[in-house]
């Protein structure tokens, strides 16, 4: 299996449904150790997020499912075997994220897992009412603020885990600071998405250093090529060409569930996974960071998030 896994890791076939099948990953494996643990899943009403929420709930986890559409959250509750606690929030709005986090903290509930799954890809540059490019707001800044706001609860509930759902698209883009909001040149939605996914991986690696010794681990992962509504809407040509090879949502969700729930994943932190194994974060030299860039990136993110992390953020 080691040879097959290594061979698949060097080809695009590894991202398909054949990759996960040849690696003999058991997407029906149960993880009873997660029973009774509280896990928040963002983007939980469809696609990979819904599959994650339903699988964790089926093992007895109390899943705090975040979505922006009440009817879809109601449907998730009605169609899930297990406990789903719905939370309505538009995760492109940092104010809504602050309200979500503050409400959760005020509830006094523990939090043993946070799955930052929500993500968007659009093909026309859009700025939110708060002044952020929407891909950056949803895929990166919002996740930064949510995680920071929930860290004290995660630490108090330790051992706990954070999973950042990245994408293979991140292999195409280097880390940037100046163009995180895709303000330079012509807007390319695919590249804007990939830049945020690269940034999520770097954030994972840097936060892992800060969280060492707290009992909170953080990992990032690539779910493979998955046949979701998001792919069908945002990448129709890609979907038309690769449709027969795409994974289903349960296959895409598997490594996320494993990272949240499995005993063997308990000590992992700061690493990037695909199909339950650590993978390289660069495939090309041109995506590797120059000295000092990571520090500038972390300073930039802290600066953008700072107004939203103040106790009076919603009073201004």
The answer to whether the CB of 249 falls within 8 A of the CB of 47 is yes
The catalytic residue among 132, 136, 171, 193 is 193
The answer to whether the CB of 163 falls within 8 A of the CB of 219 is yes
132 catalytic residue (yes or no): no
Please, what is the Cα angle at 238 between 234 and 243, to 5 degrees? 110
The encoded tokens of residue 199 equal 């940034």
Instruction: Kindly report the three-state secondary structure assignment for every residue of 80-143.
Output: CCCEEEEEECCCCCHHHHHHHHHHHHHHCCCCCEEEECCCCCCCCCCECCCCCEHHHHHHHHHH
* Coil vs helix vs strand at 190: helix
* Coil vs helix vs strand at 252: helix
* Coil vs helix vs strand at 290: coil
C-alpha closest to that of 25 among 275, 311, 279, 215? 275
How many whole angstroms separate alpha carbon 90 and alpha carbon 138? Answer: 9
Residue 119: which region, alpha, beta or left (left: phi > 0; alpha: psi -120 to 50)? beta
| Residues carrying an active site annotation | 193
């Amino acid at each position: 299996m080691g040879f097959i896994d290594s061979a698949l890791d060097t080809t695009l076939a590894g991202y398909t449904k054949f990759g996960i099948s040849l690696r003999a990953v058991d997407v029906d494996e149960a993880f009873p150790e997660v029973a009774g643990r509280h896990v928040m899943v963002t983007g939980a009403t469809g696609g990979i997020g819904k599959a994650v929420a339903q699988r964790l709930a089926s093992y007895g986890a109390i899943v705090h499912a975040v979505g922006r559409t009440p009817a879809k959250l109601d449907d998730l509750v009605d169609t899930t075997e297990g406990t789903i606690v719905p939370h309505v929030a538009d995760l492109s709005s940092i104010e809504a994220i602050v309200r979500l986090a503050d409400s959760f903290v005020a509830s006094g509930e523990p939090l043993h897992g946070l799955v930052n799954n929500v993500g968007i890809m659009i093909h026309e540059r859009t700025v939110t009412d708060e002044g952020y490019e929407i891909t950056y707001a949803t895929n990166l800044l919002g996740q930064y603020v949510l995680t920071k706001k929930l860290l004290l609860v995660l630490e108090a509930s330790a051992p706990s885990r954070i999973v950042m759902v990245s994408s293979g698209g991140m292999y195409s883009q280097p880390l940037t600071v100046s163009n995180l909001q895709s303000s330079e040149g012509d807007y390319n939605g695919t590249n804007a998405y990939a830049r945020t996914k690269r940034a999520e991986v770097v954030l994972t690696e840097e936060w892992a250093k800060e969280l060492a010794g707290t009992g909170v681990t953080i990992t990032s992962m690539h779910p493979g090529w998955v046949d979701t509504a998001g792919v069908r809407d945002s990448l129709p040509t890609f979907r038309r060409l690769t449709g027969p090879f795409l994974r289903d949502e349960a296959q895409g969700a598997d490594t996320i569930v494993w990272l949240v729930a499995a005993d063997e994943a308990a000590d992992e932190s700061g690493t990037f996974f695909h199909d339950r194994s650590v993978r390289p974060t660069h495939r090309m030299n041109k995506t590797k960071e120059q000295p000092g860039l990571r520090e500038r990136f972390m300073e930039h993110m802290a600066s953008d998030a700072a107004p939203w992390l103040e106790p009076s953020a919603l009073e201004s």
